Structure 1
Amino acid sequence: MASEGSQQQQQQQQQRVALKKELTLMHGVAVIVGIIIGSGIFLSPVGVIREVKSVGASLCIWAASGVFSILGALCYAELGVAIPKSGGEYIYIKEAFGPLIGFLTLWTIFFMVCAVPTAASALIFAEYVLRGFPETACMPDGWAAKLLGACAISLLTAINCINVKWAAKTQIIFTGCKLLALVIIIILGFIHVGKGYSNNLQDAFEGSDINGKTLAFGFYAGFWAYGGWNYLNFLIEELQNPYRNLPLAIVISITIVTAVYLLANVAYAAVLSPEQIISSNAVAITFANDKMGPAAFLMPLFVAISVFGAINGGTMSISRVFYVGAREGQLPEFLAMISYKQLTPLPSLIVMLIISLALLFLADIWTLINLLGFAFNIILTLTMSSLLYLRYSRPNLHRPIKIPLPIPVFVLLWCFGLVAMTIYQAPDQSLKCLGFIAVGIPVYFLCVAWERKPASFQRRYHGLTLALQKVFMVVTGETQADEDQEAAPKEDAAIKSE
């Protein structure tokens, strides 16, 4: 009887139409490392050294940025295992502060945090690929780069639509390639030092310009290069054994990134003077031209591969925010559906593709990028506030991981300080971003809070949803997140009874 019951349970699980738990610890590490290491470490370490003016001070900021990223990521690990739902910041903020603030977070992620970096990364990818094809420069208004970028986004979206494992394996391959490129830079830099050329590393702190403003802006540039450590939380429902693998993946990946970033910056500084770094548009390319000789042409290819992997990781992760937002009733029902054959969030991936392509061809991406950092820091501040508020309002919530209180308090104060500083230093951009977020308030009351919409509208809405469901062959997905949460207090009760 017991064996028959277990067989029936296995059959029911196989028949469930839900996102599968197919991501292992290695996949998790590849997702985080692959997203964090995009174009930044290859193109613009100049941002840090331009502020503090010396190699030694810049290395300190790179190290501090890595430590701060680990602290922030550990806070996300606590939230991720306490609320084991995909969706990342959106779901945590909604759980803590209610549907309106949650929707404004979703609104900001939907139109800014997801599509803007994807479109910008696609342009960077295309520009570095096209460096090997000078004849494309004759195409007007950068259309060659836009078309190639659109092809890259479309290809990666197709891979993510077909199979989550394919997307995860793609992420592992491209993460390995970008780490290989950085290892080459590190080895060449240390060989340069080993030959006795270490003048640039002597008196490393000479000429430092250290004050509150330069440290803050230098840290902002360094911390931004670590962006992406929060993306695995978007995929937690597809991560095997998340209580173990989420914190492990976070610690392993950010430790790897911090070590690689520090060693790469030492290699850059050993070969290039601070003046050369500051004047370079692409530090890795300048480095390659100096040290790699005829093989220097490989570095633009490595940059393109790195950015391609970052686009794949972002596509795989952020599409889950749309899926969860619809499942929570704050986006159209169609986005809460998954392909019944591939078991992937097909509608969310398609919508993300459409928004990314629209921004790629129709918007000034680089203007939007300036607003993105401020928007992300607002969301990060709200997320840290959520952690502290949930500790106060739901003290009995099952928390397999509980970070010491001073850590989230410190991260919150620092994030709030960055928001305040941005408002003070760039009020025009800040007001534009805040104005865009505020537009979401009437949208929320009209589209989400207003439940008694006219019957004719509801019939047409239902008919459109049904038609799209038939066209794309998708069904409403199930989730194990609530089952996981219900099981957690039973573990506590069992411990107490013992």
Structure 2
Amino acid sequence: MKENTMQFKPTLKLMDATMLVAGSMIGSGIFIVSADITRNVGSSGWLLVVWLITGFMTLTAALSYGELSAMFPKAGGQYVYLKEAYNPLVSFLYGWSFFTVIQTATIAAVGVAFAKFTAYLIPSLSEDLVFLDFGFISISPAQLLAIVVIVVLTYINSRGVNSGKTIQTTFTLTKLLSLFGLIIFGLFFLDKEIWKSNWENMWTLAPLSVDGSLGTYTTLAAFGAIAAAMVGSIFSSDSWHNVTFIAGEIKNPAKNIGLSLALGTIIVTILYLLTNVMYTGVLSLHDIAYADKDRVAVASANVIFGTSGTIIIALMIMISTFGCNNGLIMAGARVYYSMAKDNLFFKKAGTLNKNAVPGFGLWIQCIFACLWCLSGKYGDLLDMISFVVVLFYMLTIFGIFILRKKRPDADRPYKAFGYPVLPIIYIIMGLAFCTLLIIFKPKFTWPGLIITLTGIPVYYLVTFLNKNKKEIGNS
């Protein structure tokens, strides 16, 4: 059939790829998660350290992925890297987790965040209202709005990569400029007394209670607090690797993917650090930690802009999350495409529609993301995703060492910066993060791991069915 002969069209330039990296990273997290981080660490110095550690890990991983993207510049990205470094089972477990938790739950979380802040402008869309009540589950207008946004963006991306590219570049540039503007205004209105108070005991690591008092940590608990705090910052910095999924649609992918990864992660890391510096200049640590519903940016904007601050931030987050979800939706379906080509996903997901995009993959992703919208809270999804994501990042980066040994003579247009030191440091930090998270936040780490492991029987069932089907076809 004609549909099956369609090929990806390489139409995305370096600018488009960089905007996809930055735009997929910046959602709603930077406007919210600093509250939870501050409650865990209790000081401005450690607030920035958490973001610095996350930024270092993100940039290190991105620079490492540059080598893999140059070696395998094809649709599927991380799924392909894991298959080449390990085996089809490991790559399937990633693809399975990606579909069931990582990408679809992230799309849902970002969609719900869009809806929550839209409710500032249209109160009837509040998450606190009940639109439908089925007894075992109640549905709010915010959840329905999140679903509508996901469906609309899926439709737009099913119309071709250029449609998604236009939205991505426009919205990402808008939110980068808006966030930079917020930082400038915040630093201009910096309160010297608040600044001095926040930075007097900048290296005190302790839990900050609602009454403003500081508790104490044992040494192990202090490390656990840092790991718990990093859940939010890692979620806020995630999805930078989405550009690797659409390698087949990027011009000169061997060069531009690695470069876009570096540029995008550097831009976002700097913006995130400056945003948190701004927070400490306009709000006390207590006000950061216990902002209403963790909406630190709203509290900051109200100080900077007065009563109009809430509307300004609501619009910024709506722009940010809309653009972020566009990038997530655009990139995600390319993984299912690669899985389907390996006979490990719905066969139809391995075909391109008349617009040269994996239409079926986009819509199956849409359905699953919409189900996530109805099922859980933003924080629940955040905790579950961060653990599984870092787990696969570590495996992928370790894959560089494996491929260097297995294929020493393979063409490597770009080699991982700082190899082997930086990749080793990332793996050590990732192991520490995952271990501490299992110990101190097991409720939503184990479910993510269990979902990943359920992919093992699914993999063997699918391969068994494929084998039987092949044998029947040959008989």
Please state which band the TM-score falls in when normalised by the shorter chain.
0.7 to 0.9
2:335 maps to a residue whose letter is V
The TM-score normalised by the length of structure 2 is 0.87
Map residues 94-493 of structure 1 onto 2, 5 A cutoff: 94-137=83-126, 138-140=129-131, 141-193=138-190, 198-200=195-197, 202-203=199-200, 205=202, 207-209=204-206, 211-280=222-291, 281-296=294-309, 297-339=311-353, 341-362=354-375, 366-403=379-416, 404-453=419-468
Match of 1:82 among 71, 77, 84: 71
The TM-score normalised by the length of structure 1 is 0.83
Q: 1:25 to 1:177 in 2, by over 3 A?
A: same
What do the CA deviations read for 1:200-259 (whole angstroms, capped 9, x no partner)? 454261644484333333344333321122111111111111122112212211221122
Map residues 19-98 of structure 1 onto 2, 5 A cutoff: 19-98=8-87
Q: 1:429 to 1:147 in 2, by over 3 A?
A: closer
What do the CA deviations read for 1:140-161 (whole angstroms, capped 9, x no partner)? 3443112211110111111111
Paired with 1:456 and 1:84, the residues of 2 have a C-alpha distance of: 33
Q: How many residues align?
A: 444
Q: 1:367 to 1:202 in 2, by over 3 A?
A: closer
2:24 and 2:325 in contact (8 A); partners too: yes
2:158 and 2:359 in contact (8 A); partners too: yes
Paired with 2:192 and 2:391, the residues of 1 have a C-alpha distance of: 47
How far off its partner does 1:54 sit? 1.3
Paired with 1:456 and 1:150, the residues of 2 have a C-alpha distance of: 42
Which residues of structure 2 form unaligned runs of 5+?
Answer: 132-137, 207-218
2:185 maps to a residue whose letter is L
Larger Rg: 1
How far off its partner does 1:368 sit? 4.1
SS of alignment partner, residue 451 of structure 1: helix
2:463 maps to a residue whose letter is V
How far off its partner does 1:373 sit? 1.8
Which region of structure 1 is more displaced relative to structure 2, 129-138 or 182-191?
Answer: 129-138
Q: 1:353 to 1:206 in 2, by over 3 A?
A: closer
Paired with 1:228 and 1:294, the residues of 2 have a C-alpha distance of: 33
SS of alignment partner, residue 193 of structure 1: coil
How far off its partner does 1:353 sit? 0.9
Percent identity (aligned) = 28
Which region of structure 1 is more displaced relative to structure 2, 418-427 or 402-411?
Answer: 418-427
1:413 maps to a residue whose letter is I
1:29 and 1:250 in contact (8 A); partners too: yes
Paired with 1:204 and 1:38, the residues of 2 have a C-alpha distance of: 31
Which residues of structure 1 form unaligned runs of 5+?
Answer: 1-14, 460-498
Paired with 2:438 and 2:199, the residues of 1 have a C-alpha distance of: 38
Map of 2:135 onto structure 1 = none
Q: 1:214 to 1:451 in 2, by over 3 A?
A: closer
Q: 1:454 to 1:253 in 2, by over 3 A?
A: closer
2:348 maps to a residue whose letter is F
2:31 and 2:295 in contact (8 A); partners too: yes
1:29 and 1:252 in contact (8 A); partners too: yes
Q: 1:382 to 1:282 in 2, by over 3 A?
A: same
